[in-house]
Structures are given as structure tokens and as C-alpha cells.
Structure 1
Amino acid sequence: MSKIASDFDFTSYIQLVDFLGHCFDENTEVVLYDFKDINHSIIKIHNGHISGRSVGDPLTSFAMSKLKDKGKECPPYYVNYLSMSKNGTPLRSNSFFILDKQGNPRGMLCINTDVTKYQQAAELLQKLAFIPSIKSKEKENNISENNNNFNTNIEALHSSARDMIDEIIYDVTKSREISVERLTVDEKMEIVRRLNEEKFFLIKGAVSEVASILNVSIATIYRYLSKINKNI
């Protein structure tokens, strides 16, 4: 499997991916990121079918949003948080930031486990014990607002930068069928704001790609970003 050249020695971590990959079953993905090129950040992955990703795919929005903090925080890891594959599969994720001798983040090792079978088993046990499921309790108590707040914290594992943009467009418009020409200025501004919040514009060429997708000029994207940053 090919890997991207880096000025940091990831040899032992690449071997660790292989080791951990064989420790877990096929429902667990182990992935190694190099922060040198966040647009093609994955340099090693085991069981990539879990998230649908492969070597050369980009860094996640979650990692980009945390990238500036790591090295300042201790310990340099996040455990047992919820993420979602691009096909909607729920995953239990753990991320460890790899630091150099100066404490600078150079990469990240992640373990993502498909928890679908565990959820199905839990629901079966709830039925056998005559305990209402979490989903039915939420429906009865009409707590969709809390549900929405929870979903905003779920990491989405995208296989491309375009996937991330499309998902945010859907989140803003609540439609996967709407054409770019029908987007309002406020909707485009909100899409850019969300992408900026996810640190998407750290990716090389991101501004031109977003401009192309939203059918506006590069200058317009920079104008949006200027307005957004003034309001932060």
C-alpha cells in the first residue's frame, strides 16, 4: 500500500496500524493520518470499508477543528466519541494525536468501531426486558431539540472534500435536490461560515473549490470570509 512522503518518521506507527488491525475484528477500522498534507492525510488504513475511505483521503473536520489545540492540551487524545461513516453507519471512535519532540501535532492515530451490531443487541435486550427503547422514549417525550443538539457533535468521516461540502449544503438547505443556482446569498454565507468553522479552508485549494461548487468568484468567497471573521 502506498503512502505519502513526510518529514516525520511514521514507520513505527504504520506497523502499529497493522498490529492493531489484526487485534480487532473486521468491524474495527484503524487509520493513520499525516498532518503534512491535510487534503491527502491518510497514509495507512486497515479495514477501510468501515468508513469507505482509503490512503490519500483527507483529514476529518473533527481533526481539523482540534488541530490547533493539540500540543497545548493534555492528554493528547479523545476517547469513546460518536462519529458517522459517509453511508450513515454509527461508529465509536478514539483518536490519539502524535506529537513531535517539541510537542507539535504531526499526525493522528484513530480507531473506529462499527457499533451497529451492539445497538441491535441492546435493542433486543430492551425488548426482552420490556424496557422502552431510547428512540421510543425520545419520540414520546418530543425531545427532538436535544436530539438535534447531540447530532451537531457527531463527527462525519468523509472520503473527499466534496463530500464535506455537499453534507454542509444539505445541512443548511435540508435538501439534497436543490441546485446551487437557487441558493440565496445568506445560505451561501452560512455554508462558508460552517466550512470555516470546520477549518475546511486550511486545505490547499479549498477556496477555489468552494467558489466553483457555489458558482461564485474566488473574490466572493474571500469577501464572505472577511465578513464572517469580523463577526467572530
Structure 2
Amino acid sequence: MNKNVINHYKKLVEFLGIALGENYEVILHIIEKDNSYVGAIANNHISGRTNNAPLTELALKMMKDKAYQDKDYVTNYKGITKLGTEIRGSTFFIKDENQELIGMLCINFDFSKHKKIANDILDLAQLQLNMFSPIKDETAAPKKKTIEDHHDNEMIEYFSDSIDEIVYSVVDPSLLNPNIALKQEQKIEIINQLYKKGIFQLKGAVSQVAELLNISEPSVYRYLKMIDKDKK
């Protein structure tokens, strides 16, 4: 993404942040080769993220799966902040003239205040929100899966400030215990999991993963080469 385009979207982030209000967080993700990061953010009190923060695991997976090739945007998926607040997210894919992904514009809606007001109103009548859930039609045909379903599970975005946090969200933390000596097969499997999630598209991911697994950076690159060769 060239400088003029970046500046254009940075102004758009600022505008949307003001126009939509404090309950909407607006984020510009800049996608560059081996370096993807938050380029601009408005109302960041919602997720606590800052400029230059890494992309979330979900954003990386959408990049890895090339979801942008079939869609221009994804809407209304669940997000969970570090404080456990549930929000609703939407992402617009920014593409170049060759339809390659160069950025993502994301809007996260914090509806906690609206939910509280709704609950307070229903409490006055001694009612609950779940009393109004639609009845499931057991005879209905199965709904066709879409990108919003995130394959077999609901599409959920967890917000992280560091590569470490993203790695721990993907890999079983017990396997990253420095007191446990992992076999080579286990290390390769961990790196394979991170590869599938697109973690290595983040700047500094190789060195960070090498440190967490207590191996050298050349070893990480060697394992990645093995994984890439097997996939071909």
C-alpha cells in the first residue's frame, strides 16, 4: 500500500471514528510482505490495541485462506476483547488493481451499553432476553456454510497486543513450557499450526517463535521449508 493510499485510509479511520461515535472502533490493517500491522486506529479504548500492533489470529487466517478472493467484505462476526467484552466486527478487504490484498478496514461495535439498557428495561417487566430466542426448526434444511461460519466453528476474533499472545492462542500453552523438552516432531507440528494460521506473515514472528520453542531461527526456517515442501 503506497503512502498516498495509506494517508487516505488513515483520514477515513479518523472520520469514521468521529462520525460513528465512541462505541465503534475503527482499525486500518496495513498488509505488506512479511510485515502486517495496525496502521491507524480510532476509539481504541474498546480493544486496547495501538498503532503497530500485530494482526489478530482471525485476520491472519483470512489472509492465509485468501478469503478476500471470493468476497469484498465479511460482516457481523463475534469479537472478544482482552477484558472479555463481546463485540461485533466487520472487515472490508482493500485490494490493489490485481485484486491482491493490501489492507483491511475493520469496524468493531461495542454493544455492551445497549445490551445493559435492554436488560434493564426487560427487568422492569421481569423478563429476560433469552425468552425471545427464535424456536429452532428441526425440519429446516441445513444452512450452507460461509466464510462467516469460520469453517466448522463460529467466526470469533480474539484481540492480542503481541505475537506471543497470538501464539499462545493457537498452541497449547503446556507445549510452550520452557521446562519441557519437545521432540523435533512436536516442534514441527507447532510450527505447522502457526504456519496454517498465517503467523509468519507478521514481522518478527520467526525470531519470536524460535525463542518460545528454544531453537534457532535457522531451525524455524528449515522446518518451514520442510512444511512448504510437504504441502507441494
TM range (shorter): 0.7 to 0.9
Query: 1:104/1:230 Cα in 2 relative to 1: closer, same or farther (>3 Å)?
Result: closer
**Which stretches in structure 2 are left out of the alignment for 5+ residues?**
134-151
1:182 matched to which residue of 2?
A: 180
2:80 matched to which residue of 1?
A: 84
C-alpha separation between the residues in 1 aligned to 2:100 and 2:213?
A: 35
Query: 1:89/1:194 Cα in 2 relative to 1: closer, same or farther (>3 Å)?
Result: farther
- Counterpart amino acid of 1:155? E
1:102 matched to which residue of 2?
A: 98
Quick one: which of 166, 170, 189 aligns to 1:164? 166
Number of corresponding residues: 208
SS in 2 for 1:41: strand
C-alpha separation between the residues in 2 aligned to 1:22 and 1:159?
A: 24
How many angstroms does 1:223 deviate by?
5.0
1:46 aligns with 2:42: yes
C-alpha separation between the residues in 2 aligned to 1:77 and 1:52?
A: 24
Check the 8 A contact 2:37/2:202 in 1, yes or no. no
**Which stretches in structure 1 are left out of the alignment for 5+ residues?**
135-148
- Counterpart amino acid of 2:100? N
C-alpha separation between the residues in 1 aligned to 2:118 and 2:106?
A: 25
C-alpha separation between the residues in 2 aligned to 1:183 and 1:118?
A: 49
1:199 matched to which residue of 2?
A: 198
C-alpha separation between the residues in 2 aligned to 1:203 and 1:13?
A: 21
Check the 8 A contact 1:86/1:159 in 2, yes or no. no
C-alpha separation between the residues in 2 aligned to 1:107 and 1:94?
A: 14
Q: Deviations over 1:11-66 (max 9, x none)?
A: 33222112211122322100112112664521211011111111111222222222
SS in 2 for 1:95: strand
C-alpha separation between the residues in 1 aligned to 2:127 and 2:113?
A: 16
Q: Tell me whether 62-71 or 48-57 shows the greater mean CA deviation.
A: 62-71
Check the 8 A contact 2:63/2:198 in 1, yes or no. no
SS in 2 for 1:9: helix
Check the 8 A contact 1:82/1:92 in 2, yes or no. yes
How many angstroms does 1:179 deviate by?
2.9
Check the 8 A contact 1:123/1:133 in 2, yes or no. no
C-alpha separation between the residues in 2 aligned to 1:83 and 1:131?
A: 20
How many angstroms does 1:208 deviate by?
2.1
TM-score normalised per structure 1: 0.73
- Counterpart amino acid of 1:29? E
C-alpha separation between the residues in 2 aligned to 1:132 and 1:168?
A: 35
- Counterpart amino acid of 1:72? Q
SS in 2 for 1:128: coil
2:18 matched to which residue of 1?
A: 22
SS in 1 for 2:28: strand
Check the 8 A contact 1:96/1:108 in 2, yes or no. yes
Check the 8 A contact 1:70/1:97 in 2, yes or no. no
2:207 matched to which residue of 1?
A: 208
Spell out the pairing of 1:130-149 with structure 2 (5 A cutoff). 131=130
TM-score normalised per structure 2: 0.73
Query: 1:35/1:218 Cα in 2 relative to 1: closer, same or farther (>3 Å)?
Result: same
1:56 matched to which residue of 2?
A: 52
